Structure 1
């Protein structure tokens, strides 16, 4: 929306700079590590994180097999028209921790992709909410599919949103 009513003053324009590294295109090098090793390398700064992390201010708190905790910092740049953080922020953070929890269970050379995610929005998030903590954990890992659950909590431990996700496990092609 670019037009404003003469009765409603335009809000002050703000800007936000996002820093990120171009994603690595060398899939062989990327998948030389197990999923847990890949995420540990990102968390320790040995390899750059994915570009999406810069958009939502995502940082790793802890990593274990099948269990991931991350924080994110919502701000006004994540707002929707009604003045609260857009549901896409919630969904992105929850999809990330669900997917990363699954990723920690994968051996070298194996990948995954999200098949579906169901998000339940329980409380609004605003810039005043402050940092939020997202926890994702694997509930069932099969050979071809994994299931994960997640939640986002505020600094007081109140649950703001929950999710359940199904991820497809992608095995390398067998040599012909």
Structure 2
């Protein structure tokens, strides 16, 4: 029997996601340092990128070399065994580490993740509630920068950790 032979069961659910044009966000960052751009985003002066709407996350803290994202997972990010998919944790950790690097960059520069290593320590469910991803730069650089991040629940229990390296790139256009 294939999955197409099995009739669907249970209530069908849906989720609507809306976002601003990502080019507006990118354009708003062009003449600002990473810290200026992230601070403007934090204060609502720059629209969040679409990934934040998709995974229900938001930037809640910024300073040079460190950022914090908050996310309240819902069942739309569940995997087949009834837990939050590890990809959500990885996405939040990658965002936190990358934006921490971005917070150290001058105007005209951005970053791209080169690699990320994630360690999943505890399962996440919707009853876990709000989770926080904290990223911090461990070694800034002009070509490559390094950062680490952790994902915690509201009690400070660590759910996952990551180390990341980011390529520092000039922004074009």
Using the size of structure 1 for normalisation, the TM-score is: 0.90
CA distance change for structure 1 residues 26 and 11 in 2, over 3 Å: closer, same or farther? Answer: closer
CA offsets, 1:142-165, max 9 Å, x none? 221100000000111110000000
Partner of 1:91: 90
For residues 29 and 47 of structure 1, the distance between their equivalents in structure 2, rounded to whole angstroms, comes to 7
DSSP-derived class of the 1:24 partner? helix
Q: Judge conservation of contact 1:24–1:30 (CA < 8 Å) in 2.
A: no
The 1:26/1:39 distance shift into structure 2, 3 A limit, reads closer
Contact map agreement 1:115 1:166 (CA 8 A) in 2:
yes
Where do 5+ consecutive residues of structure 2 fail to align?
none
Local SS of the residue matching 1:142: coil
Instruction: Provide closer, same or farther for how the CA distance between residues 27 and 78 of structure 1 changes in structure 2, counting only shifts above 3 A.
Output: closer
* Correspondence for 1:152: 151
Query: Equivalent residue for 2:6?
Result: 4
Contact 1:101 1:138 in 2 (8 A): yes
2:111 aligned partner: 112
Structure 1 residues not aligned, in runs of 5+: none
TM-score (normalised: structure 2) = 0.92
Question: Cα distance 1:53–1:142, how it changes in 2: closer, same or farther (>3 A)?
Answer: same
Indicate whether 1:122 and 2:121 are aligned. Answer: yes
Given the alignment of the two structures, is residue 165 of structure 1 paired with residue 167 of structure 2, yes or no? no
Separation in 2, partners of 1:47, 1:82 = 37
Q: How does 1:66-85 map to 2 (within 5 A)?
A: 66-85=65-84
**TM-fit CA distance, 1:92:** 0.3
The alignment of Structure 1 onto Structure 2 pairs a total of residues equal to 170
Shift of 1:171: 3.1
Per-residue displacement from partner, 1:83-141 (whole Å, max 9, x unpaired)? 10111100100000000000000000011100000000000011111110110000001
Q: Which runs of 4+ in 1 moved over 2 A?
A: 1-5, 25-30
Which residue does 1:137 correspond to in 2? 136
